[in-house]
Chains A and B, each alone.
Chain A
Amino acid sequence: MSTPCFARGILTGVTVNMNWKTYNGFTLFTPLGRGTVNLIDMRGRIAHTWEMLHSPVLYEELLPSGSLLYLAHIDNGPLCEFEGSGGKLLEVDWNGDLMWRHEDPYLHHAFCRMPTGNTIVLRWVEIPSAIARRVKGGVPGTEKNGVMFGDSLQEINLEGQVVWEWLSYEHLDPQMYSICPLCSREQWTQANSCATLSNGDILVSFRRINTVCVISRATGRVEWRWGPDEISHQNSVTPLANGNILLFDNGIHANGDHYPFSRVLEVNMANKKMMWEYRDKANANVNFYSGFMSSCQRLPNGNTLICEAKTGRIFEVRHEGEIVWEFVNPSFGYDPMYGNNNVVSRAIRYRADYEGLKGQAVTLPEFGQMIEKTEQTDRKTEMQVKSRLEQLGY
């Protein structure tokens, strides 16, 4: 049994709240390893929870209809040992009652509900061996029992029928999209986010090939691509209203010999220039670095909500990089791979007048349980240090 690191992780709960500079609303997140979806207010008080029974893959969305769309991990899937494996896409109402479900053991990482009511899902497919052999990169000989998996996109309607499908290996060039040299050849691309653009095309992030693509809905062709040698193992690629894209550049397995760090980037799609960047200026490696998961969301007032998965830290920055709100997940859980952790894989902020929250009874106890827990932990640690110092004669 190991003890936690004392110097870090002492502060949890809301640690910064400059409410005159923030984009006020509710923040939705699910700590890793359990299926408790939390909706918290700006003071860290729990406004609502959903118990989903399955642990999350990455995230959930509160739909304008007021229901929650949640991708759940299942333990007995054929590829359940792959990072980000899903299995069940569940839609529940405010009270947690199941409204819609889509089961597919090959689902992974991300989904996107379209305005039509259909849903785009990501799923793994086996790559034909003739193509897999030609894929460059990765550690040689590390395919899963000789098989390489790739990504596909499916559009599912409310009846669960597949109305559109895209297979990555039909459109990606195995010579051009090479796997990161430190990754295994079990997977070629490992997509981890998808979003629809206004023209119906789909923006997809492929982690292992460090590439963001726009896929034409009509032809399936890759209309736009960017990333290699610029970003590494990115997550959470989202289109912005101004036509740029926002993404979380995790920074693990980045080229070159420097201290790894994460950053959030806004990129102009037309000229592929970086228009905005957030990274920790003081000590980028120690203060802001999560090699896995994580998310970013541009808020309507220009602020950006960032989730640093590794430390369970959700924070809101202004354009200049000032942190105006910060919350650290105080609830620790166990995961076989991540240990005793407080990882939060993604977070989304909703304004209080968001359509999906209308008419819902959002209960806010005067002193929410999260805050109390935090203060107790803090006080206990401080008492321990103080009593130790007194014993030593200080």
Chain B
Amino acid sequence: MSSAKKLRKGITYYDPSKTYEGYTLLAPQGGYNAWLIDMEGSIVFNWSLLHQPMFARLLPNGNLLYLGREEKNPQGPKFDLYDIHGNLMGAIWEGGFQHLVELDPDNNVVWQYEDPLISHDFYRRENGNTMFIKFSLVPDHIKCKVRGGIPVDPKTPMWCDALNEVNEKGEVIWEWLAYEHLDPEIDILCPLMHRYEWTHMNTCTVLPDGDVLISCRATNFICIIDRKTGNIKWRYGPGELAHQHEPVMLSSGNVLVLDNGEHRLFSEFSYSRVVEVNPKTNTIEWEYKDDPPFAFFTSNQGGCQRLSNGNTLITDSDAGRIFEVTYDSEIVWEYVSPFYGRYVGFPLNNFIYRSYRYAFDYTGLRGKNLDRANYRWVNLVYGTNAFSIDR
């Protein structure tokens, strides 16, 4: 590997006067742990997970809720992998995230839900219900109307997505099927993606009024779904967004979203950006781009979070990098994950799907012993000085 690209690990920059102070939660995809780190990059809390995680959230009750991957018998959309000579090497499944697990601070399982078709995102509502995305097949009479994409064997099924809301007992109390509400004439599949999937949903956030904010990656749009009718109330993206992730509703009513930029129209080079969109006017009111733009590019994953002081926490998944920028686009905190592992079909990597910053006064942190000395030996390797490790 290139010497110039032996990235520094751990904290590479920190300006305490400008950051939003708190703890950052990350669940490296190649491992079996969720870590809470402080602003200096030291580990202060840890959960060991039963599965390789997609990502984890710290709930206000102090528990951890994560989406875990099942390694045996994955289901859902399957992609064939070919080597450079066109030989079939195997297949990877987009699905296989079948475990939703809630762990208490002592690492005991307090709630669990399983479905072999769960994918990408979940959201715990205040009433204790959990919303999540699952894959569902597109019926043939709609499949033939879907436009765009690269043709595949007509016998191959085409997948889209569904939303399920389950209560604490695990009963499905609300369901939404994408193919019933999307319009094949408007929701056109990216021309460079195979017709294995139509939508590839990757975000489902329940808004306070019960509506759901979703993101469909393959069709390049984000939208708000009316909870009562299932209809799409607002839609934004084609022509502007490219394979985006994690739209977030802000208190101002604007929507923040990570625009990954893979397969971006007219692009001479690949770059990611984070944009804040005003849903009333569908205009972009804020944008973060690196300089040069291609220095920040995460192609297939990533996330963003607006912090209370106006800063934005961004997860650059491909590089295992989490960084905080001010409203003026200045980087004031940067962390590169030193946690390497193997994840699905990828070589050794430090991917992080999403990460979250929690302020010191967040209720979910109450009562936890967050002393970095508890993890003294782990911190010697993975803590602040981890940047000295070359991989």
Contact = CB atoms under 8 A, between A and B. Distances in A.
Interface string B252-267: 0000000000111111
Interface in B35-67: 40
A153 B384 CA distance: 57
Contact of B293 (A139, A339, A385): A339
Interface residues of A, number: 64
Nearest to A142: B266
A2 B264 contact: no
B7 A7 contact: yes
Interface of B: 1-8, 12-14, 40, 79, 84-85, 150, 191-194, 200, 218, 262-270, 289-296, 299-300, 318-319, 321, 323, 325, 328-331, 334, 336, 346-349, 384-385, 387, 391
A389 interface: yes
Contacts of B85: 273-274
A15 B360 CA distance: 42
A276 to B, nearest CB: 10
A216 interface: no
Contact of B384 (A274, A338, A392): A392
A255 interface: yes
A213 interface: no
A63 interface: no
Contacts of A16: 2-3
18 contacts: A2-B325, A2-B329, A11-B3, A142-B266, A181-B191, A182-B192, A184-B266, A254-B192, A256-B194, A260-B299, A280-B2, A291-B270, A313-B4, A323-B2, A328-B4, A338-B269, A339-B293, A385-B387
Contacts of B192: 181-182, 253-256
Contacts of B329: 2
Contacts of A241: none
A285 interface: yes
A7 B270 contact: no
Contacts, number: 167
B261 to A, nearest CB: 10
Interface in A269-289: 273-274, 277, 280-283, 285-289
Contacts of A12: 4
A221 interface: no
Contacts of A218: none
A183 interface: yes
A87 to B, nearest CB: 19
Nearest to B293: A339
A252 interface: yes
A181 B319 CA distance: 28
Contacts of B3: 11, 15-16, 323, 326
Given A260-B299, A280-B1, A341-B292, A291 B269 contact: yes
A394 B319 contact: no
B110 to A, nearest CB: 36
B281 to A, nearest CB: 24
Given A256-B192, A328-B4, A392-B384, A6 B269 contact: no
Contact of B268 (A83, A181, A259, A341): A83
